[in-house]
Every structure is written in structure tokens, then in C-alpha cells.
Amino acid sequence: MNKVAVIMGSTSDLPVMQDAIDILKEFNIEVVVDIVSAHRTPEKLFDFSKNARANGIDVIIAGAGGAAHLPGMVASLSPLPVIGVPVKSSNSIDGWDSVLSILQMPGGVPVATVALNGAKNAGILAAQIIGVSNETVYNAIVEYKEGLKTKVIASSKNL
């Protein structure tokens, strides 16, 4: 069975990152959740990243705020696809810090970045990645997208 890890730098990121966990569960994808801080638990960062593949993880979603180094460092240490979620923390400079420190990775080490606080999209993207080789998940995404459409059309009828 496919498995996605959702990690974040601090429990204060959980309210944002929960959206990723919820949508992955909706797609019936196994999720492991952990707190891994690049700046306060660098050894755990190493262990987690080096062993992710062996632990059956297919995709890693990492959320962090401010000078957000977690997604990029995981991408440095693991060959798995890493999705970065810029979290708008308190004392952030309007979110620009998290966005730029996740997005602007150097050539050779990509992080798949989603919108500021866009954890839900990180979950969907992880599902799409799994859907490349998993027909059930692929079909769930097709259905999910149909659902989005239906809701918009319904909402326009209530205008």
C-alpha cells in the first residue's frame, strides 16, 4: 500500500498541515505524521530522510515557516519526491520568507512547492503522484475533480 509522510517543523504548524492529512485520508492513502525540525532536531531530520524509502514512504510532504529549511533539507537527503508547504508563521514577513526559502532551491535538488498555507493541495499532489502508478488513487482524483465541478455549479444556482 502507498504511504505518504506529513512532517512539519513544529506542532504550531499542525493546524495548517492537518489539511494535508485529511485529504490524504479521504483518498484512502496511508499517512504517517511526525514533527521534524531542521533547526532543532537535525539528527532526526537525517534519520527520517535517509530511512524514508526503506520505511515504505513514497512521497514526503514537509511544512515549515520563516526561514523554512525543512523541505529543502529533506530533499537534499532523500531521493523521494518532496512537497514543500510554506506556512505563514507569526513574525513572518507576510509569508515571503517561507515561500522563497522553500521555492528557490538550486539546480539538482527540487522541492515541489505549493501555495502559502496550501497543505490541502500538497495532499492532493501527493495523491496525484501516487496515481501515476496506482489506478485506484488515479480514479479517486478524477472523481474528486468532478466533485469540485459539481459544487461550483450547485453554488451558482443559489445566486
Nearest approach in angstroms of CB 139 to its own copies is 9
Nearest approach in angstroms of CB 120 to its own copies is 5
Q: Judged by CB, which is closer to its own copies: 30, or 76? A: 76
How deeply is 159 buried, as exposed, middle or buried, from its count of CB atoms within 10 A (0-12, 13-18, 19+)? Answer: exposed
Nearest approach in angstroms of CB 110 to its own copies is 4
DSSP 9: S
Nearest approach in angstroms of CB 129 to its own copies is 5
Distances (CA, A) of 75 to 30, 84, 92, 98, 124: 21, 10, 23, 16, 19
**Which helix (H) or strand (E) is 157 found in, with range?**
helix 135-157
Nearest approach in angstroms of CB 122 to its own copies is 7
Three cell numbers written together for 140: 479517486
Site for its own copies, residues 117 to 156, rule: CB under 8 A? 117-118, 120-122, 124-125, 128-134, 138, 141-142, 144-145, 148-149, 151-153, 155-156
Contact 121, 114 (CB under 8 A): yes
Give the whole-angstrom CA distance, residue 26 versus residue 21.
Answer: 9
Distances (CA, A) of 150 to 29, 94, 113, 129: 24, 34, 28, 24
What mask of x and - would describe binding to its own copies in positions 66 to 105, judged by CB under 8 A? xxxx--xx-xxx-xxx-x----xx-xxxxxxx-xxxxxxx
What mask of x and - would describe binding to its own copies in positions 25 to 44, judged by CB under 8 A? --------xxxxxxxxxxxx
Residue 3 makes contact with its own copies by CB under 8 A: no
